[in-house]
Amino acid sequence: MSKFIINGGKKLEGEVKVEGSKNAVLPILAASLINGGESIIHNIPRLKDVSILTNVLENIGCKVLFNGNTMVVNSKGELNTNIPERPVKEMRSSIILMGAVLGRFKHVRISYPGGCEIGPRPIDLHLKGLRKLGVNIIESHGYIVCQYDKLIGKEIHLDYPSVGATENIMLAAVSAEGTTIIQNAAREPEIIDLQNFLNKTGAKITGAGSSTIKILGTNRFHNAEHTVIPDRIVAGTYLTAAAITGGKLVLQDIIVEHLKPLISKLIESGCKIEKYDKTIIIKSPKRLNAVEMIRTLPYPGFPTDMQAQFMSLMSIAKGTSVFVETVFENRYKHAEELVKMGAKIKLDGRTAVVRGIRKLTGAQLTAKDLRGGAALVLAALAAEGVSYIDNNDNHIERGYEDFDIKLKGLGADIIKVIV
């Protein structure tokens, strides 16, 4: 376990390069199983979640070379279609291996991922979609066993635009006979990146980024090379870090389009934003105005993965903000920690009312999930005095590469200690 010690009150200033997207790289790594050959993937962030998935790939028989931020995955030959249980329990998104392994080998056995810190997280939509393609699924004793004789393209209407379900269905459907159409698909940028990677391996997918994705099945795949998109949530977290400390930051290697839902809220609260091709500059005033309403929604709505960080920001803004978390059931665990710092937050189910105060004060805190942990770091950067953040299960490191080092480079007084 690690702990962050932060002496707050320093304005962040300088330039930061945003790493590759965690949520794009995980399905792309799963997709690298499909071509039965070599995939060269650049801009991979060095994160705990990436090493968990890489270990699974090696464990089932892939050869993996990871050098700097480039990974070469060789998925040639027979692989083990029984996915080891531990990584799936440790990292829920390992379920993304299901569609890829199944599409290539007609069989997969994977343990049920179960709930996590932010809610129950069912996978019924993943399974419903795969069943529609002709997969026979047996769920027993905590395992899911999937197999089929023939995978046949079908029209699948998702009841909710789930990111994981859209990805798992795409990963299986690329190998199906005929055409699959996913209606009400998730529209997140990470889905477009998965489409782009899969198409480089020989798949025939169109429509990602819209709510209708069309996949023409094939059995001809080949080697591919790809560069992962920048992480919009990491970028959003640094923008919010600048905003909360009254600082000025230049973010490099970003895609402005992906940040629009967040940028509009930052402008509403009083930040000045300059947008260039792959660069964005944020200047924050001394004190921000509260944003009346923050409702999390699937992309292109305000991202649930930025709700916690934005709550830290609003806790010292001028006025009252109302948050409505529509995506996950249990995603306000950071609120009780912010209250320890003096924040005035009232929770009622999926709604949080935040009355902005002038200053937060340093406290002894615990990161209970990844983004909630990042939110506490931001709050501590702005607070008066010293905060100690227990990074339980290394939550924060699951999603931010060298977070403490990069923040220190921008002027933060932060140290990480291993306990």
The Cα 407–Cα 271 span in angstroms is 20
As beta bridge partners, residue 14 has 249
- 52 versus 290: smaller Cβ distance to ligand UD1: 52
Instruction: Check binding of 282 to ligand UD1 (CB under 6 A).
Output: no
- 351 versus 364: smaller Cβ distance to ligand UD1: 351
Instruction: Check binding of 121 to ligand UD1 (CB under 6 A).
Output: yes
Q: Which of 28, 47, 125, 314 binds ligand UD1 (CB under 6 A)?
A: 125
Instruction: Check binding of 123 to ligand UD1 (CB under 6 A).
Output: yes
User: What is the DSSP track for 159-170?
Assistant: SS--HHHHHHHH
Kindly give, in sequence order, each residue whose CB lies less than 8 Å from that of residue 280, ignoring residues fewer than 6 positions away: 235, 239, 250, 251, 254, 256, 259, 263, 273, 274
Q: Cα dist. 146→98, 150, 172, 288 in Å?
A: 8, 12, 11, 52
Count, residues near ligand UD1 per rule CB under 6 A: 21
> Of the listed pieces 12-20, 55-63, 118-126, 390-398, which binds ligand UD1 according to CB under 6 A?
118-126
> Of the listed pieces 31-39, 81-89, 124-132, 244-252, which binds ligand UD1 according to CB under 6 A?
124-132
For tokens 């004789």, what's the residue?
Answer: 149
**What residues between 186 and 205 interact with ligand UD1 by CB under 6 A?**
186, 190
From 362, 234, 366, select the one nearest 309 (Cα to Cα).
234
**Residues 165, 139: contact at Cβ < 8 Å?**
no
Q: Which of 54, 74, 162, 196 binds ligand UD1 (CB under 6 A)?
A: 162
Instruction: Tell me the residue ranges of DSSP E strands in 158-211.
Output: 179-183, 204-206
* Residues making up the chain, counted from first to last: 419
> Of the listed pieces 60-68, 162-170, 220-228, 260-268, which binds ligand UD1 according to CB under 6 A?
162-170
**What residues between 17 and 56 interact with ligand UD1 by CB under 6 A?**
23, 26
Tell me the closest approach of the beta carbon of residue 368 to ligand UD1, in angstroms. 15
Q: Which of 15, 124, 257, 274 binds ligand UD1 (CB under 6 A)?
A: 124
From 393, 306, 378, select the one nearest 338 (Cα to Cα).
378
- 221 versus 400: smaller Cβ distance to ligand UD1: 400
Catalytic residue among 62, 116, 146, 271: 116
As beta bridge partners, residue 111 has 143
Active site (annotated) includes residue 116: yes
Q: Which of 54, 74, 93, 391 binds ligand UD1 (CB under 6 A)?
A: 93
Using omega within 30 degrees of 0 as the cis cutoff, is the peptide bond preceding 84 cis? Answer: no
| Token pair of 221 as six digits | 């795949």
Q: Which residues are catalytic?
A: 116
Interface contacts to ligand UD1, rule CB under 6 A: 23, 26, 93, 119, 121-126, 160, 162-165, 186, 190, 304-305, 327-328
